[in-house]
């Protein structure tokens, strides 16, 4: 049985992307051009482009011309905690713009994750993280007050918060990561340059010291056309490795 036309269109474009015929950063042919080339309806072409967008091969849409994305690059687990360390390790330029650093009562979610009483003071940090200047991640972190107060002597726009805290003697030892999908709020959409309601990858993280005491709760939201995650494990050792990839 032959594949549906939208699958054949997607396959043809996928091959052109893999072969470099459609280079990274280049625009995808217009819908009208694709309709003519494949003798397909606009709905068929849109379905094909939607497939490629979901695979992270192209980005854009809804008023923004789609372009070809960079190929995925894997990240080892040991740098998973630090966005800056990961980006630098693969030769990409990490960036950040701090939107807020504030002392306030912990949200109910953060208080529960950190094992704090409701209303306990924490230090909240909100940063937009970029890859090569393009928005990739909206980072929301709540640090226990004894750790977070050190950030008032640090410029979060200058680099890695984790690297700075480790230099200050903070025992950032491990983390538990939960990955799911959410819809972009108006604030998410404005910061990440996506449409409200667009799908985002969410990583919720609880960082702990070597004794298991929680130090940070984070709710990070990624553009799935810029970053994806892969989980690798082996049966013999039961090891688990989470890999972050650039799309």
Q: What is the pLDDT of residues 144-200, one digit of tens each?
A: 999 999 999 999 999 889 889 989 999 988 888 888 999 999 999 999 999 999 999
Mean pLDDT across 9-33: 89
Burial (CB < 10 A; 0-12, 13-18, 19+), residue 200, is buried
Q: What are phi and psi of 76, to 5 degrees?
A: -65, 155
DSSP assignment letter at 193: T
Spell 220-229 as b/e; 16+ CB within 10 A means b: bbbbbbbbbb
Report helix, strand or coil for 127: strand
pLDDT of res. 1: 52
Cα separation, 49 vs 55, whole angstroms: 10
Of 217 and 78, more confident: 217
pLDDT band (50, 70, 90) for residue 232: low
Mean pLDDT across 204-223: 93
pLDDT tens digits for range 35-93: 999 999 999 999 999 888 877 788 875 567 788 887 654 444 344 457 777 787 778 88
- pLDDT above 50 (res 116): yes
Contact yes or no for 247/227 (Cβ under 8 A): yes
DSSP assignment letter at 27: B
Q: What are phi and psi of 241, to 5 degrees?
A: -130, 125
- pLDDT above 70 (res 233): no
According to the 3-state scheme, what is the secondary structure of 31-77?
Answer: HHHHHHHHCCCHHHHHHHHHHHHHCCCEEEECCEEEEECCCCCCCCH
End-to-end CA separation in angstroms for the chain: 32
Measured on CA atoms in the order 198, 142, 125, 83, is the torsion positive or negative? negative
pLDDT band (50, 70, 90) for residue 245: low
Task: Give residues with Cβ within 8 angstroms of 203, minimum separation 6.
Answer: 177, 178, 179, 218, 219, 220, 222, 229
């Amino acid at each position: 049985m032959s594949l549906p036309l939208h699958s054949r269109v997607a396959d043809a474009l996928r091959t052109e992307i893999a072969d470099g015929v459609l280079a990274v950063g280049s625009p995808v042919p217009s819908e009208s051009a694709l309709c003519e080339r494949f003798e397909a309806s606009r709905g068929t072409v849109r379905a094909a482009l939607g497939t490629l967008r979901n695979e992270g091969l192209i980005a854009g849409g809804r008023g923004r011309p789609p372009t070809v994305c960079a190929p995925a690059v894997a990240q080892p687990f040991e740098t998973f905690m630090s966005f800056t360390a990961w980006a630098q390790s693969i030769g990409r330029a990490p960036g950040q713009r701090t939107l807020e650093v504030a002392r306030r009562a912990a949200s109910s979610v953060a208080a529960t994750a950190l094992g704090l009483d409701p209303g306990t003071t924490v230090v909240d940090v909100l940063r937009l993280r970029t890859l090569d200047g393009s928005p990739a991640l909206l980072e929301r972190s709540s640090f226990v007050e004894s750790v977070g107060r050190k950030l008032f002597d640090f410029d979060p726009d200058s680099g890695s918060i984790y690297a700075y805290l480790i230099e200050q003697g903070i025992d950032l030892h491990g983390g538990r990561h939960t990955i799911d999908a959410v819809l972009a709020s108006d604030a998410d959409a404005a910061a990440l340059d996506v449409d409200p309601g667009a799908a985002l990858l969410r990583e919720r993280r609880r960082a702990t010291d070597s004794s298991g005491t929680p130090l940070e709760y984070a709710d990070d939201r990624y553009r799935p056309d810029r970053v994806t995650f892969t989980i690798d494990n082996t049966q013999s050792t039961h090891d688990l490795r989470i890999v972050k990839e650039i799309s």
